[in-house]
């Protein structure tokens, strides 16, 4: 059963996606703003061949619109944040806006119907239903939560998303100006990650807030003890800041973030069973990558395995560890040097940056 936690921690409100067996899988703090999904009418500041256009977003800074045929300098352009800024990379922008709901993602300028990879049987029935709702020129992505929704709820949400887009598209404001952003990052986090029929466990002090922002098909449960204490959330977050992660049966992972990518080294220590070590490491790596909010290029140097069948087993275990992950991910087989290479989409601000922003439980941070 998919579960999430909403808690009023010492450092601020926090939403947490929980694993079936209890521990946190993903964490979103209420600060900082990551701008994901926000839409601007921007103005092209400069164009660099082979890279794209740098777009002025007014008081929100500058973003990069990657394009082989970028608009000319000075042009007003409608753009949307597709990847948050990080410590070494700026905000990434796209020119094909979309608006996310619980059951649908509305694409006003991209025709057709596609479905979530998590939908059973490729969502054939829902795909046909959604196609009949569309107007010329628009499209939708049918989300996994739509499986348990009634037709009326899906139609109602599509109407709401259309109306929101009409308000954005009809703006008379001068560029650069922000036209829309997610009003509540915690609500958006839960909307996108809590499965239909999932449980939202909320602090008693947040009952009214949770009732307003919980997905309509979620089951709300109120806890007497603050969730951040019950789940040892501060210790979990502090642990996710550490570069070395001990494995339960011996050995460890060393996780290093560089400008080129994320490097993860599996150290067996005194352990002799390389396959068992690598399987445990693969499961732990998947959890740590999601918990830390890591993205981009990730290289994993496993302990050497002689048999091809054993290597395939570790590859499958690593892939299964990311089941349910919202981020798009691509994984390659073992290289001749025993390294597994993968890429993972950046969906939000890494946990370390969020924690630095709020200052943890020790007072105000830098944001």
- Looking at the fold, whether 272 and 338 belong to one and the same domain comes out as yes
Residue 209 lies in a domain: yes
- Looking at the fold, whether 256 and 314 belong to one and the same domain comes out as yes
Going residue by residue through the chain, which has 367 residues, state the pLDDT in tens, using 9 for 90 and above: 589 999 999 899 999 999 876 789 999 998 778 899 999 999 999 999 888 999 999 999 999 999 888 999 999 999 999 988 876 678 999 999 999 999 999 999 999 999 887 776 667 888 889 999 999 999 999 998 998 888 999 999 999 999 999 999 998 889 999 999 999 999 999 999 998 889 999 999 999 999 999 999 999 999 989 999 999 999 999 999 999 999 999 999 999 998 889 999 999 988 889 999 999 999 999 999 999 999 999 999 999 999 999 999 999 999 999 988 999 999 999 999 999 999 999 888 899 989 988 876 554 455 6
- Looking at the fold, whether 226 and 152 belong to one and the same domain comes out as no
CATH number of 294's domain: 3.40.630
The number of domains in the chain is 4
- Looking at the fold, whether 261 and 208 belong to one and the same domain comes out as no
pLDDT, residue 365, reads 56
DSSP 3-state assignment of 78? strand
Burial (CB count within 10 angstroms: exposed 0-12, middle 13-18, buried 19+), residue 320: exposed
Residue 27 lies in a domain: no
Residue 138 lies in a domain: yes
What would the pLDDT profile of 126-184 be if each residue is shown by its tens digit? 888 999 999 999 999 999 899 888 899 999 999 999 999 999 999 888 999 999 999 99
- Looking at the fold, whether 70 and 87 belong to one and the same domain comes out as yes
Our CA dihedral for 313, 316, 321, 326, rounded to 10 degrees, sits at 170
At 288, list the tokens: 């740590």
pLDDT, residue 363, reads 47
Best CA proximity match to 331, nearest among 313, 347, 319, 346: 319
Residue 125 lies in a domain: yes
Residue 33 lies in a domain: no
Domain range enclosing 159: 99-169
CA 192, 39, 76: angle at the middle one, nearest 5? 160
Distance between CA atoms of residues 331 and 50, nearest Å: 27
What would the pLDDT profile of 89-120 be if each residue is shown by its tens digit? 789 999 999 999 999 999 999 999 998 877 76
Residue 359 lies in a domain: no
Q: How many CA atoms lie within 13 A of 223 on its CB side?
A: 17
Residue 126 lies in a domain: yes
32-68: buried (b, 16+ CB within 10 Å) or exposed (e) per residue?
bebbbbbbbbbbbeebeeeebbbbbbeebebbbbeee
Cβ atoms of 102 and 160 within 8 Å: the answer is: no
- Looking at the fold, whether 193 and 131 belong to one and the same domain comes out as no
- Looking at the fold, whether 223 and 248 belong to one and the same domain comes out as no
Residue 178 lies in a domain: no
User: Which alpha helices (DSSP H) does the chain contain, by range?
Assistant: 124-131, 151-169, 185-193, 207-213, 227-230, 233-240, 274-292, 308-321, 351-358
């Amino acid at each position: 059963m998919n579960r999430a936690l909403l808690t009023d921690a010492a450092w601020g409100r926090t939403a947490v996606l929980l694993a079936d067996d209890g521990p946190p899988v993903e964490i979103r703090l209420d600060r900082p703003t990551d701008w994901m999904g926000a839409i601007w009418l921007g103005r092209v500041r400069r164009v660099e061949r082979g890279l794209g256009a740098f777009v002025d977003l007014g008081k929100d800074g500058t973003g990069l619109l990657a394009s082989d045929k970028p608009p000319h300098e000075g042009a007003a352009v409608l753009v949307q944040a597709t990847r948050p800024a990080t410590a070494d990379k700026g905000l990434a922008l796209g020119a094909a806006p979309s608006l996310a709901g619980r059951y649908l993602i509305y694409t006003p300028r991209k025709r057709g119907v596609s479905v979530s990879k998590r939908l059973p049987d490729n969502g054939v029935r829902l795909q046909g239903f959604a196609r009949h709702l569309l107007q010329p020129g628009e499209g939708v992505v049918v989300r996994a939560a739509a499986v348990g929704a009634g037709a009326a709820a899906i139609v109602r949400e599509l109407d709401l998303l259309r109306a929101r887009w009409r308000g954005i598209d009809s703006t008379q404001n001068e560029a650069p100006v922000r036209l829309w952003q997610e009003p509540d990052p915690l609500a958006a986090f839960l909307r996108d990650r809590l499965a239909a029929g999932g449980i939202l466990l909320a602090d008693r002090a947040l009952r009214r807030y949770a009732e307003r922002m919980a997905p309509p098909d979620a089951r709300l449960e109120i806890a007497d003890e603050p969730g951040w204490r019950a789940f040892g959330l501060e210790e979990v977050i502090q642990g996710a800041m550490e570069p070395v992660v001990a494995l339960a049966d011996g050995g460890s992972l060393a996780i290093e973030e560089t400008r080129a990518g994320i490097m993860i080294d599996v150290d067996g220590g005194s352990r002799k069973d390389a396959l068992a070590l690598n399987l445990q490491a693969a499961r732990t790596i998947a959890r740590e990558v999601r918990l830390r909010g890591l993205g981009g290029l990730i290289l994993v140097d496993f302990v050497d395995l002689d048999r091809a069948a054993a290597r395939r087993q570790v590859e499958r275990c690593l892939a299964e560890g990311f089941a349910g992950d919202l981020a798009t991910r691509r994984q390659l087989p073992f290289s001749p040097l025993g390294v597994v290479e993968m890429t993972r989409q950046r969906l939000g601000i890494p946990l370390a940056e969020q924690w630095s922003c709020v200052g943890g439980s020790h007072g105000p941070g830098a944001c």
